[in-house]
Amino acid sequence: MSDQTVQNFESLAPSAGQKFTQRVLPLAVFALIILIIPMFNPSNLMLTLLNVMGINIVFALSYNMLLGRGGLLSFGHAVYFGLGGYAAVHAMRAIENASYGDGGFWASYPVFFLPVIGFGVGALAGAIIGWPSCRRAGTPFAMISLGVAELIAAAGFMFGSIFGGEEGISGDRMNGPELFGLSLGPINEVYWFIAFWTILGTVGIYAFTRTPLGKMSEATRDNPERVEFVGYDPQRVRYLVFIFAGGFAGLAGGMAAVQYEIFTPEAVSLAPSGMVLLMAYIGGIRYFAGPILGAVVLTYMQSMLSDYSEAWLLYLGILFMAIVMFAPGGLAGIVAGLFNGLRADDRSERVSKWAIMVVGCVLAFVGLVALVEVAIRWSNGYGEVFEPFGMHLPTASVLTWVLIVLPLAAGFAILRFGATRNKEGQA
């Protein structure tokens, strides 16, 4: 302790190469993927889904500024998304009226930059609502966000002039000055709009995490007392982060305004707030890329899984529970674990361990799907029978229950075996 040599902190910092591979490269790859997708000629449905994914990516990332980076669990993040979106739709209408009327400021405002309005209003809402709610973190913060979300959701139905009542407010994106030759009419042109703002939003949020404020937000999450000792006010840090998170949520809202050309009061309700929480958490809140992954997976599930099974909500719930219980790192954590594991020395051992777990999971999943699908048909009572691969599985048949119980039991037994073996390995 006494005769400390002066440490060379320079050597602890990442080298320029590391900086590039860890910080710039992933974002560049992400942007590249977005840019080359149209070359594969996706269908209109696929483009629509991609657009929604882009919106949700920015939305989930903004949410993770609170939950993952700031340690603030919010149940009302859709409020800022919704208010930003509403502002953008109102602006879109102003553009429409101005371009067919007396001109003025709005006549020269391109629809392409509506997300800026969304950002502004989202941040403003964050600044107003954040003031009382950011005084404390933890459960009080979560509860205040819940209370505020309930109040705003009720207001959404009461104030028709702002929220447009049940029908909401709609606009037309094909007005005002065109930018980059995009009329924004066809869905493939909207794709470029979404792509631009998704990349900008992602880079922006990433850049935020590198700022001193972003770093302090993580410090405040881990230990607010120490933050105070080094001279920062945790309340102020939380408040500023909250404003930015609101702003980026509003940006996503502005993107949604252009994509859907309509906003309805359900956008500020509790359901989308819950959904964005699921996206961020399932994706993995400890990783920057987690919410991106979560947004992509959940958007796809929400719109496509319901074609295959009406019990899709149940599967979503089970997925969420499994993540919370067994993989707190989320999907990104699993991916990162695989990636690191493949480069570790005990590679072969890990692979065999994973193989056991995958087999167990697949078996348990098969049994579970069979159980749920049989149960849901029994519950509906329309006399439908679950018939996978041409098999006939009525509720009363022995085969059905064998096919449910056997994989479930085998799956869980294998998973348990794997888990105990791990413990022994560690001991």
Partner 1 sequence: METIVFSLLNGVIYGLLLFMLSSGLTLIFSMMGVLNFAHASFYMLGAYFAYTISEASSFWIALIFAPILVGLIGAAVERWGLRTVHVNGHVAELLFTFGLAYLIDEVVKIIWGRNAVDYRVPELLDFPLFELFGAQYPAYRIFTLFVALAMLAGLWFILNRTRAGLIIQAALTHPHMVGHLGHNVPRIFMTVFGVGCALAGLAGVIGGNYLVTDPAMAVQMGPIVFVVVVVGGLGSLMGAFLAAMLLGLLQTFAVAIDTRFADIFGFLGLSETSEVGAISIASLAPMLPFLLLVIILMVRPRGLMGDREL
Partner 2 sequence: MKLVKSAALAAAMAFASMSGASADTLKIAFIDPLSGPFGPSGQSGLNEWTYAAAQVNAKGGIQGKQVEVIGLDNKVNPKESLIQFQKAIDQGVRFIAQGNGSSVASALVDAVEKHNKRNPGDEVLYLNYAAVDPVFTNDRCSFWHFRFDADADMKMEAVTDWIKGQEQIKKVYIIGQDYSFGKAVAAAAVKNLTAKRPDIEIVGNELHPLGKVKDFTPYVQKIISSGADAIITGNWGADMVLLIKSAMDSGFKGEILTYYGGSKGAAVAMGESATGHVKAIVEHNTNLPMSDAHAAYVDGYEAEYSEDDYYYHRISNAMKMLAMAADKAGSTEPKAIAFALEGMTWEGPTGTITMRADNHQILQPMFMSTFSKDGVTRGVEDLPLGWTSGANDRIEGEATKTETTCKMKRPS
Within 10 Å of residue 178's Cβ, how many Cβ atoms?
14
Judged by CB, which is closer to partner 1: 73, or 256? 73
Can you tell me which of 24, 128, 180, 310 binds partner 2, judged by CB under 8 A? 310
Judged by CB, which is closer to partner 1: 110, or 165? 165
Q: Give me the least distance between CB of 359 and partner 1, in Å please.
A: 22
- DSSP-assigned letters across all residues of 312-340: HHHHHHHHHHHHHHH-TTHHHHHHHHHHH
Contact, 190 vs 184, CB < 8 A? yes
DSSP, collapsed to helix, strand or coil, labels residue 215 as: helix
- Name the residue with tokens 């930018």: 179
Q: Footprint of partner 1 on this chain (CB under 8 A)?
A: 67, 71, 73, 132, 135-136, 138-140, 142-144, 146-148, 150-151, 154, 158-161, 274, 277, 281, 311, 313-314, 316-318, 320-321, 324-325, 328, 372, 375-376, 379
Which among partner 2, partner 1, none contacts residue 161 (Cβ within 5 to 8 A by kind)?
Answer: partner 1
Q: Which of residues 187-206 bind partner 2 (CB under 8 A)?
A: 187
Q: Which of residues 15-44 bind partner 2 (CB under 8 A)?
A: 43-44
Binding span for partner 2 by CB under 8 A among 94-102, 191-199, 212-220, 302-310: 302-310
96 is an interface residue for partner 2 by CB under 8 A:
no
Judged by CB, which is closer to partner 2: 134, or 190? 190
Judged by CB, which is closer to partner 2: 306, or 420? 306
Backbone angles phi, psi at 174, to 5 degrees: -90, 50
Both tokens of 314, joined, read 């149940």
What does DSSP assign to residue 305? I
Give the whole-angstrom CA distance, residue 368 versus residue 415.
15
90 is an interface residue for partner 2 by CB under 8 A:
no
Q: Give me the least distance between CB of 145 and partner 1, in Å please.
A: 10
DSSP, collapsed to helix, strand or coil, labels residue 311 as: coil
Both tokens of 285, joined, read 């809140």
Can you tell me which of 4, 39, 381, 427 binds partner 2, judged by CB under 8 A? 381
In sequence order, the β-bridge partners of residue 393 are 386
Output b/e per residue, 357-383; b: 16+ Cβ within 10 A.
Answer: beebbebbbbbbbbbbbbeebeeeeee
Which among partner 1, partner 2, none contacts residue 69 (Cβ within 5 to 8 A by kind)?
Answer: none
Contact, 334 vs 327, CB < 8 A? yes
Give the whole-angstrom CA distance, residue 37 versus residue 30.
11
Can you tell me which of 97, 188, 235, 303 binds partner 2, judged by CB under 8 A? 303
349 is an interface residue for partner 2 by CB under 8 A:
no
Contact, 22 vs 16, CB < 8 A? no
- Name the residue with tokens 């480069």: 343
Q: Which residues bind partner 2 (CB under 8 A)?
A: 43-45, 48-49, 52, 154, 157-158, 160, 165-168, 170, 172, 185-187, 256, 260-262, 264-267, 271, 302-303, 306-313, 366, 369, 373, 377, 380-389
